[in-house]
């Protein structure tokens, strides 16, 4: 019976690991001017791969994740770029570029629809001091959402209203 239970857990773990294709699920949060900002995302791993321009092509829409894009949750109205957003859940889609990335915020959805983009930002790409093995989103105390993975990072600001 013990062996049967052990076998069940091994098979279950293997199936979950295969389904996530090396991704783990993560949440980052911070409170900025009384507003809670949360990002839920799949945390991809480099695993020795060269991703930019190859596995993740430049100039094509990419959802930073395997099965779904990151979800941005704000509990109060805010402004991103020049766009005012109400409290709620939003998806983050991107178009990677060599020097700049395009970041698009849409109502929460697993599928990108250009007709539903609420705001579009051009963000400069900067080099990281070292390799970031696991993709990460963080939110600093000033309301900046920061993306870092491999040898790059970029950010955009969320301004509480």
Below-50 pLDDT ranges, the chain: 1-21
pLDDT of residue 97: 97
Q: What is the pLDDT of residue 54?
A: 92
Query: Which of 53, 65, 72 minimizes the C-alpha distance to 145?
Result: 72
pLDDT given at position 102: 98
Contacts of 44 (CB under 8 A, 6+ apart): 22, 23, 64, 65, 66, 134, 135, 149
Strand-pairing partners, residue 42, are: 25
CA distance 14 to 70: 24
Whether the full predicted model's pTM is greater than 0.95, yes or no, is: no
pLDDT at 24: 81
Whole-angstrom distance, CA of residue 21 vs CA of residue 1: 31
d(CA 148, CA 60): 19
């Amino acid at each position: 019976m013990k062996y049967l239970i052990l076998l069940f857990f091994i098979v279950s773990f293997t199936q979950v690991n295969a389904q996530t294709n090396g991704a783990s699920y993560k949440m980052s949060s911070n409170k900025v001017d009384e507003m809670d900002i949360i990002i839920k995302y799949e945390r991809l791993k480099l695993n020795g791969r060269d991703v930019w321009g190859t596995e993740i092509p430049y100039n094509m829409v990419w959802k930073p994740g395997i099965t779904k894009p990151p979800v941005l949750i704000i509990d109060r109205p805010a402004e991103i770029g020049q766009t005012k957003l109400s409290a709620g859940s939003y998806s983050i889609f991107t178009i990677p570029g060599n020097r700049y990335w395009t970041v698009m915020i849409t109502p929460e959805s697993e599928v990108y629809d250009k007709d539903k983009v609420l705001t579009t930002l051009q963000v400069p790409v900067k080099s990281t001091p070292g390799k970031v093995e696991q993709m990460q989103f963080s939110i600093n105390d000033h309301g900046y959402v920061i993306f870092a993975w491999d040898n790059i990072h970029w950010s955009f600001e969320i301004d509480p209203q």
